[in-house]
Amino acid sequence: MNQMLKEKLLTLPTSSGVYLMKDSTNNIIYVGKAKNLKRRVNSYFIGNDKPIKTFNLVQNIADFDFILTPSDTDAFLLENNLIKKYQPHFNILLKDGKNYPYLKINLKEDYPKLEITRKVKNDGSKYFGPYFNGISPTEILKIVSRAFCLRTCNKKIDAGKENGKPCLNYSLGLCSGACCGYITKEEYKKQIDKLIEFLKGDTKEVEQILKQKMQLASDTQNYEKAIEIRDEIKSLNNLKQKYTTQFPKLFNQDVMGYYSTGTNAVITTMIIRNGKLMGIENFTLNNLQDFESIASSFLLQYYSNRQIPKKIVLPQNILDESEILAFLSQKSSQNVQFIVAQKGKNKRLVELASQNGKEYLEKSIGITKTREMKTMGAISRLKDVLNLSNPPYRIECYDISHISGTNGVASMVVFINGEPAKTHYRKFNIKTVEGNDDFASMQEVLSRRLSELKSSNDISFSSNPNLIVIDGGKGQLSSVAEILQSLGSNIPLCSLAKQEEEIFTINNTDSIKLKRSDVALQLLQRIRDEAHRFAITFHRSKRGKAMVKSELDEIKGIGKVKKTLLFDKFGSIENIKNSTIQELMLVKGITESEAIEILNILNKK
């Protein structure tokens, strides 16, 4: 432990708060919370008998910061937000879960509509879901529209007033015409009540309505409509089969299971709504710990964007239980209860969830190991290949894109823990370089980016990269090295040349050649290719905006397609103006007369 750490440990307060552990490059590698900051942070540096994960963390701690909070609950909330913001390497991060869709009804509106959302908010709306295991909320919307004729538009409706003509859905019998005052609030509310019962699992009335409408369509020889309704009835039957009904109708709870092999672990969540098993989610853990110690962090992250039930069944007691309950209750505006499964139905449910987790883990261990090898394994290998002092947990890669020196842009792509961190990607417009000079453009971009390190409040620009990767050879590398040297930066730097996939570094005159199967090379290739894709996408967007209005618009016969082809070929109006008739005619669709007209009009300006 260095002297600075010893002195900072002595000044820590005994109040609650959040602490942020940093490595030697000032990057945050762990975020934690504590009721007593002084006692908790000091515990990392006392004694030698530590779990391997904690031991590795302590070995990488070069500094730390802390933030005081008014209460323990505030500390939990802040910790969760900072973990999502910084994605620290040593924290538990939920990567396997997906943001599943819900169906939402805003009951505050006079004429609410049913809509799909992936975010659950405490906004007074009623949420149903999540929907997975092949259950499509889009199909449910179709069934609901046919059965209850609820509106799907975003019109603001003034009760009792006509708001223009009804839409096509009204003519098709899929909407009750609420926007035109064709249905009263009271009648519409009755339909909403029926909808809610349907979404709770009572499908009998909907099935009956659809069959009646199918029969009516058939009797009136509207066979196309009858076939559509028949397909919707099939979807309804599929929906009923995919729900597993085995509990009382008002049974709503989540059940947590946990399984560990000793080296790998998984947390499994069974979601039960209105007596139906909606589905199961599995989360493999990137840093193995026992359930008791990781449960609080898991629950905070898991319920940050999911519906919180009143009851959550756990396999065992957890740390900080009262604070987690307070947070979940406050977030969901209801009294949330933890139930530790000891016997009976809940114990069987936890065992079922854990068994599902075991089967998932056994099937996915190979996939997980492959993923770990391509990410954290590649980071470790890259550290050795490039002889770095620290693992490159944060890698930034840059690429330049332009056409003939016009509309120059650059991309900054970020990989954290070996995976794309798309919220950290950034784009640059080249400002000071004219013409086709990639070296100067890269120097401008790196100079602008590194100047932001200490002064910027941007989450990405304020983060210190462990490694900067440049697309190119020795020349590109040297031009960037000059910028780093002028700024007094010692950030490690390498470049990857495309033809032979050679790696160049500042301190080696010879290139590094790795096998194509080497995970370190594959990681560099992935980030290089992603930077190239991101730069080209941005350049096309910028060029497209420039083409929206140009001097070519005034030339008869030059429409959108030909204008696009001209810009693809020449890059700018200036280059088109300086071209010859023959060069213009090489563009598909441009005739000699059009080429003459283009040059005449452009050179008059």
CA distance 160 to 179: 9
For the 549-604 domain, the top CATH level (class) is mainly alpha
Which residues does 453 contact at the CB level (< 8 Å), separation at least 6? 461, 462, 464
Q: What proportion of the chain, given as a percentage, has pLDDT over 70?
A: 90
- For the segment 566-591, what is each residue's pLDDT rounded down to a tens digit? 877 887 777 888 888 888 888 888 88
pLDDT bin (cut points 50, 70, 90) of residue 340 is: very high
Sign for the pseudo-dihedral over CA of 514, 518, 524, 525:
positive
Residue 99 has pLDDT above 70, yes or no: no
Average pLDDT over residues 401-420: 83
- Burial of residue 529, with CB atoms counted within 10 A of its CB: 0-12 exposed, 13-18 middle, 19 or more buried: middle
pTM of the entire structure?
Answer: 0.56
pLDDT value of residue 68: 93
Question: What's the order of all strands across the beta sheet hosting 337-340?
Answer: 244-245, 276-284, 265-273, 253-260, 311-314, 337-340
Q: Which CATH architecture has domain 3-86?
A: 3-Layer(aba) Sandwich (3.40)
pLDDT value of residue 249: 59
Average pLDDT over residues 189-193: 89
Average pLDDT over residues 241-262: 73
Q: Which CATH architecture has domain 253-373?
A: 2-Layer Sandwich (3.30)
Residue 245 has pLDDT above 80, yes or no: no
Neighbour count for residue 174 (Cβ, 10 Å): 19
pLDDT value of residue 548: 43
SS3 state at 277: strand
Q: What proportion of the chain, given as a percentage, has pLDDT over 90?
A: 21
Residue 492 has pLDDT above 50, yes or no: yes
Average pLDDT over residues 594-605: 80
pLDDT value of residue 406: 66
- Burial of residue 435, with CB atoms counted within 10 A of its CB: 0-12 exposed, 13-18 middle, 19 or more buried: exposed
pLDDT bin (cut points 50, 70, 90) of residue 101 is: confident
Round the average pLDDT of the chain to a whole number and report it.
83
pLDDT value of residue 276: 77
Residue 450 has pLDDT above 60, yes or no: yes
- For the segment 49-73, what is each residue's pLDDT rounded down to a tens digit? 776 777 888 888 989 999 999 887 7
Domain ranges in the chain are: 3-86, 102-200+202-242, 253-373, 380-395+418-532, 549-604
- For the segment 139-183, what is each residue's pLDDT rounded down to a tens digit? 888 888 888 888 888 777 765 555 667 777 887 778 888 888 788
For the 380-395+418-532 domain, the top CATH level (class) is alpha beta
Report the chain's terminal Cα–Cα distance, integer Å.
Answer: 70
Runs of H (alpha helix) within 36-107: 37-43, 52-60, 72-86
Same topology between domain 253-373 and domain 380-395+418-532 = yes
